[in-house]
Amino acid sequence: MADMPALLATWEQKFRPHPDGAELPAHHDHCLGCGPDNPHGHRLQARRQGDGVAASHAFDERHVGAPGIVHGGAVATVIDDLYGFLLYLVGTPAVTRQLTVDYLAPALIGATYHLEASVTGREGRKLFVAATLTAPDGRSVATSTAVFVTVGVDHFGRRGVPSLDA
Ligand SMILES: CCCCCCCCCCCCCC(=O)SCCNC(=O)CCNC(=O)[C@H](O)C(C)(C)COP(=O)(O)OP(=O)(O)OC[C@H]1O[C@@H](n2cnc3c(N)ncnc32)[C@H](O)[C@@H]1OP(=O)(O)O
């Protein structure tokens, strides 16, 4: 399991300014959404796009629900993780408090989708965010909104899991 203080240090480094278009670093190596070392993960690669973030992403057979169709939870995972990249631009850690997804059309295994996310508002500790997932032909496949709540980095180090709390 990850060394928590080292992980926290890398996380703080991720809040540096990222130039427009730059690929953004994974949240951590084993992150389900974007970690390169998670064998079950999506390995999402996101980039800054103006004041928001964007990604191109293809789901694979590990993420199937109905035959040929991406599991709705997998779609939600990728969208939730994309929101996580917005935090680098906002400059503070935050966690998902509420996530909604409207599934407008089936997402298909193997097709490459375009995702975008942006911050739509901020009120105290709450960040309001929105995302879209668009098919290669331009059709809107899913839209989402979420409420993130800002937390201190200590939030990630007190879960009662010995290997994390050490
Ligand atoms: C080393 C570190 C590396 C780690 C990297 C990780 C990267 C992660 C990458 C990303 C991965 C992907 C991301 C992930 O997977 S994040 C993981 C999934 N999410 C979580 O685990 C979060 C679990 N929840 C909590 O820990 C607590 O509930 C938190 C800390 C969030 C808040 O608990 P707390 O007890 O403090 O607050 P509260 O519950 O009273 O509410 C707070 C505020 O929110 C308002 N509110 C609530 N609902 C709604 C709503 N629907 N519409 C509008 N507003 C709403 C509410 O009224 C209140 O407002 P206000 O009264 O303050 O004004």
Contact between residue 157 and residue 3 where contact means Cβ atoms under 8 Å apart: no
**Ligand 1 atom nearest to 80, measured from its CA:** 12
Instruction: State residue 157's pLDDT score.
Output: 75
Would you say the CB of residue 15 lies under 6 angstroms from ligand 1? no
Q: Catalytic annotation on 102?
A: no
Q: CA–CA separation, 27 vs 91, rounded Å?
A: 14
Q: b vs e for 48-59, b when ≥16 Cβ sit within 10 Å of the residue's Cβ? A: beeebbbbebeb
ipTM of the complex: 0.92
Would you say the CB of residue 64 lies under 6 angstroms from ligand 1? no
**Ligand 1 atom nearest to 149, measured from its CA:** 31
88 CB neighbour count, 10 Å cutoff: 21
Would you say the CB of residue 28 lies under 6 angstroms from ligand 1? yes
Domain extents for the chain?
Answer: 4-165
Active-site residue identified among 29, 60, 80, 102:
80
Alpha-carbon 135 to chain mean position: 18
Prediction pTM value: 0.93
Name which residue sits closest to atom 57 of ligand 1, judged by CA. 126
Would you say the CB of residue 97 lies under 6 angstroms from ligand 1? yes
**The domain at 4-165 falls in which architecture?**
Roll (3.10)
Would you say the CB of residue 7 lies under 6 angstroms from ligand 1? yes
Please write the tens of the pLDDT for every residue from 32-55: 999 999 999 999 999 999 999 999
Q: Is the pLDDT of residue 127 over 90?
A: yes
| Residue 149 burial class via C-beta count within 10 angstroms: exposed 0-12, middle 13-18, buried 19 and up | middle
Q: CA–CA separation, 55 vs 44, rounded Å?
A: 7
Which residue has tokens 């298909």?
Answer: 108
| Residue 15 burial class via C-beta count within 10 angstroms: exposed 0-12, middle 13-18, buried 19 and up | middle
